[in-house]
Amino acid sequence: MRSFATNSRLALLVVVCTAAGAAAAAGYGLTAPKRYRATAQLLVAPVTPGDPTFAGLDVLRDTGGKRTAAADVAALLHGPQLADAVAASLGLRRSRSSLEHALHVNVVDSSDVVDVTAHDATPTGAAELANSFASALISQRSASFQSQLSSAIRRDERLLAAGAGSAIAQRLVTLKGLVGQPDPTVRLASEAASPASSSWPNVPRLVGLGAALGAAAGVAAALVLLALRRIRPARGAEYDPAVSEQALEKLVDRLEARLLARESALAARERDVQAKLDELRDAAAGAKPDDSDLRRREDAVAKRVEAVTKREAELARRAAELAVRERKLAEDEADAAARASEAAAAPGPVPIRTNGAAGTYSLTDLEELVARRGGEHPEKVEEWQSYLFFLRDYATSDGRIPASFDWLIADTFSELL
């Protein structure tokens, strides 16, 4: 019964792989870009090597060897100059290698007919490529033939004038009849027509190929699974011997003993840590602060605060000066004239009270002074307001500013004092 179930599962695996391969191939065939193929045919009419009419002319000759004239035409179709001529005639921007890759040339059954097949993404493009390759070859061969024909006619005319025989005269008549004609040894047998259907992808063929590959993959997977099933029982008998109940009890006893030992060790560690914590708490509770050390620290902190305060004041002053300089650079002559006229019409200075302390200024008076006369110096208003905001942190409840800021106020508010 187990063997039947195993075989059924393996057969199902092969079927699933086959269906998956066919489905993947069908999906590719339905979504892949289509390619079209069109074929033009060239007919080769080689001359015999002993024909004196075309002596000295580069025409196609049938030498009777393994390589026929049709094979020579097939080789000429793959020339790089021919691909460049096709690209120029059709106005294509494709590379030479791309055009050569799209061309397939074949001699039909060892005959004198050459198939010129081209592949393209559109049926019209495939037909144009095939016809262009065939026409370009005929044009190049005809141009070379006419050039050689002119030289041969001039040569025969000189021989005839020198008294050559009737054979030269007859050959000359034949050659003059070929003037303006294409190469007589190769011509277009049939033009390529636009194909009605695409040559690629061939969906039925792809589906069959995908199903075959899927079936092969399924059979390979089934064989691997069968091999693994045959190996597993031997390994189980070798490495999984039976274990008695006594051995299991001894194993359990050893594990319990190890657990008890670890629990005891953890409890001892917890007691040690707790003892250390108690010692630290006792040491912290019994320590008495040193008054002299505290006073030294307080003095150092006070000095540090005073130094930081002076530093902040200096930084604020420099920031204000930088702001003023930037504003002055942006002002024009019209604004300067307006400020001058406003300063001429403004009232006189307002005295500053010192609140009974010599050399001490009042924050309230400074704010009132800036509010009343700030319009005389608009370029300084932003700087004054910044300093007033800074001095609020150091003013007393009645607005008195400490004497340590007298030099800063006298220097900053000099226009108003």
Residue 231 lies in a domain: no
pLDDT beyond 60 at 242: no
Query: Which of 234-243, 319-328, 398-407 is the least confident region?
Result: 234-243
- Give the residue-averaged pLDDT of 233-255: 59
pLDDT beyond 80 at 250: no
Task: Output the domain CATH number for residue 74.
Answer: 3.30.1890
Domain count across the chain: 2
Q: How crowded is residue 386: how many other Cβ atoms within 10 Å of its Cβ?
A: 16
pLDDT band at 2; cut points 50, 70, 90: low
State residue 163's pLDDT score.
80
- Give the residue-averaged pLDDT of 127-147: 92
Residue 269 lies in a domain: no
Residue 41 sits in the same domain as residue 155: yes
Q: What percent of the chain has pLDDT over 70?
A: 79
- Give the residue-averaged pLDDT of 386-409: 87
- What span, in angstroms and rounded, lies between the C-alpha atoms of 256 and 67? 93
pLDDT band at 356; cut points 50, 70, 90: very low
pLDDT in tens, 59-86: 888 776 667 888 888 899 988 889 899 9
| Residue that is last in its domain, among 200, 233, 250 | 200
State residue 130's pLDDT score.
93
Beta-bridge partner residues of 42: 114, 188
- Give the residue-averaged pLDDT of 166-195: 89
State residue 392's pLDDT score.
87
Q: How crowded is residue 365: how many other Cβ atoms within 10 Å of its Cβ?
A: 18
Residue 177 sits in the same domain as residue 62: yes
Helix ranges (DSSP H) in 61-165: 69-76, 80-90, 96-102, 123-161
Residue 281 lies in a domain: no
Q: Which amino acid is at 250?
A: K
Residue whose C-alpha is closest to residue 82's, from 73, 119, 191: 73
pLDDT beyond 60 at 100: yes
pLDDT band at 329; cut points 50, 70, 90: low
Residue 405 lies in a domain: yes
Residue 335 sits in the same domain as residue 195: no
State residue 316's pLDDT score.
61
State residue 312's pLDDT score.
67
- Give the residue-averaged pLDDT of 357-373: 81
- What span, in angstroms and rounded, lies between the C-alpha atoms of 114 and 72? 10
Residue 134 lies in a domain: yes
Residue 325 sits in the same domain as residue 195: no
Residue 309 sits in the same domain as residue 195: no
Residue 192 sits in the same domain as residue 332: no
| Residue that is last in its domain, among 150, 169, 200 | 200
Residue 187 sits in the same domain as residue 305: no
Query: Which of 6-10, 31-35, 167-171, 190-194 is the least confident region?
Result: 6-10
Residue 192 sits in the same domain as residue 339: no
Please report where in the chains the tokens 């003023």 appear, as a residue.
324
Residue 185 sits in the same domain as residue 41: yes
pLDDT beyond 90 at 407: no
Residue 263 lies in a domain: no
pLDDT beyond 50 at 138: yes
- What span, in angstroms and rounded, lies between the C-alpha atoms of 85 and 137? 9
State residue 338's pLDDT score.
57
Please report where in the chains the tokens 């979504």 appear, as a residue.
31
Q: In this structure, is the dihedral angle defined by the CA atoms of residues 370, 374, 379 and 381, taken in order, positive or negative?
A: positive
State residue 147's pLDDT score.
92
Residue 341 lies in a domain: yes
State residue 248's pLDDT score.
65
| Residue that is last in its domain, among 200, 230, 258 | 200
- What span, in angstroms and rounded, lies between the C-alpha atoms of 29 and 19? 15
Structure tokens at 147: 């050039």
Domain assignment of residue 40, given as a range:
33-200
For residue 377, the SS3 value is: coil
Is the pTM of the predicted complex or chain greater than 0.75?
no
Residue 44 sits in the same domain as residue 181: yes
Residue 175 sits in the same domain as residue 312: no
State residue 65's pLDDT score.
63
User: Rg (Cα) of the chain, in Å, rounded?
Assistant: 54
Residue 11 lies in a domain: no
Quote the mean pLDDT of the chain.
79
Contact call for residues 362 and 344 (beta carbons, < 8 A) = no
